[in-house]
Amino acid sequence: MSIDRPVIVWFRQDLRTADQPALAAAAATGQPVLAVFVLDDATPGHWRLGGASRWWLHGSLASLAADLADRGGHLTLRRGASVDSVLAIVRQTNASAVYWNRHIEPHWRTAEAELQKRLTTLGVAGHACDGQLLFAFGAIRGRSGEVPRVFTPFWRACLAAPPPAMPLPPPPSLRAPLTIPPGDSLAAWRLRPTHPDWATGLAATWQPGETAAQQRLASFLDHGVARYRDQRNDPGINGTSRLSPYLHWGEVSARQIWHATHLRCAGEPGFAAGAEAFLREIGWREFCAAMLLARPEMPDDPLQPRFAGFPWRDDPSLIDAWSAGQTGYPIVDAGMRELWQTGWMHNRVRMIVASFLTKHLLQPWQAGERWFWDTLVDANLASNAGGWQWVAGCGVDAAPYFRIFNPVMQGEKFDAQGRYVRRWLPQLAGIEPRFVHKPWLAPPLSLAAAKVRIGIDYPAPIVDHGTARDRALAAFSTLKS
């Protein structure tokens, strides 16, 4: 390998310098290293980045470029088909090798195979590394030798396996090529949304980047993980890690989270239960990734074939009301308002709003999945599809179809004082706690005192719970075993 020929690192959803196997392997060659990111939103046939994801990507790429520059490296941006763009840079720089971290999404796996094939024809080495998950793809197997298709056995197999590899340190320094190929400016991509709610809400809530990810992880392990098991289901308090977008974009790795959690909680029994519950959520991400690898149709088609003919109602007006947080059920509407304003929603509330859409309104789960894909800053293809299929009842490891969340009871159980609802639905701030999750049942004098007019200041329920439940059960009864 000529010392003058650079090597390329193809970045995607691994926008960090620490525990970045592809970057570490490239730096270890001693060759000049050129980091490349391609905005591949022109390629048809796959899920393109949603609006919230594009906002996050702008901040994450700016942070990565600065982190690489601090180490002497350089990030080149290109827009177009990924494989063609990477190969163009290979030719322009006379690169000797390309490094990347394996990706679980079907279109990326196809792109990786094509890149490897075309690099071989050019006589250029292609190196695929494992860096997206806790374990190498397909490494987790049950007693039968197959990947478990149910989460609990899958997670047991994870815990029984050798621990994930220790995280890699960032390269202490990088050497950029003497000649840098031309690239796009980040500003020219115009990734940031212009809608005023998103332009202010996302920026007020999040700070993308590897440094922010490490700060958030450290803060959660110091102040939140011990109480995580007890507080994780209360959306009215700051009881979760909020690491999901950083993990999705690879600003922190699953292995870093795993080992940092074990290190922080070692010898402190009070942390054990919270740490176990927290890492189990990382396990769910791992499980969804394994399912997507095995069933690449998961984002579009039900994993249980009997759901292919399910009688969804497919009513755009109901989907619009749900998307806008105008259903008349406060816990549902608060969740949808939080999502719109911050690009994130509490996990317990995600289950409630998904159940409401699919069970109460009988709208196809794919419609909700697509809305989440556009509005979540942590819009992970595998986890998003896995969560929606679980709630709708059509996944390989799904909630029973007859489990239909009562949105009033869910609100009263998990947001007993209405803190969450009052934050995101300020028009209900004056409602008595006993009616905050069912304001349409509040006495007229109470509504007048709270300055709430049902149907004017806040909508009446768009569907009756009892009627909707019966209708959903009737629809599900049509499924064949």
- Which residues are marked as active site? 281, 284, 312, 347, 365, 388
For residue 414, give the nearest of 248, 215, 171, 236 by alpha carbon.
236
Pairing of strands 75-79, 97-101: unpaired
H or E element, residue 251: none
3-state secondary structure (DSSP) of residue 458: strand
Residue 34's φ and ψ, nearest 5 degrees, are -120, 120
3-state secondary structure (DSSP) of residue 233: coil
Please name the amino acid found at residue 220.
Answer: F
Q: What angle do CA 135, 217, 398 make, to 5 degrees?
A: 50
Please name the amino acid found at residue 419.
Answer: R
How many CB atoms lie under 10 A from the CB of residue 370? Answer: 17
Residue 284's φ and ψ, nearest 5 degrees, are -65, -40
Residue 443's φ and ψ, nearest 5 degrees, are -60, 150
H or E element, residue 60: helix 51-70
Exposed, middle or buried by CB within 10 Å (0-12, 13-18, 19+), for 259?
A: middle
Q: What is the CA radius of gyration of the chain?
A: 24
Determine the Cα–Cα distance for residues 1 and 14; give it in Å rounded to an integer: 26
- Ranges of H-type helices in 295-397: 316-323, 330-342, 347-355, 365-375, 381-392
Contact call for residues 338 and 424 (beta carbons, < 8 A): yes
Exposed, middle or buried by CB within 10 Å (0-12, 13-18, 19+), for 480?
A: exposed
Record the tokens describing residue 432, joined without a space: 């008595």
How many CB atoms lie under 10 A from the CB of residue 207? Answer: 13
H or E element, residue 101: strand 97-101
Contact call for residues 31 and 169 (beta carbons, < 8 A): no
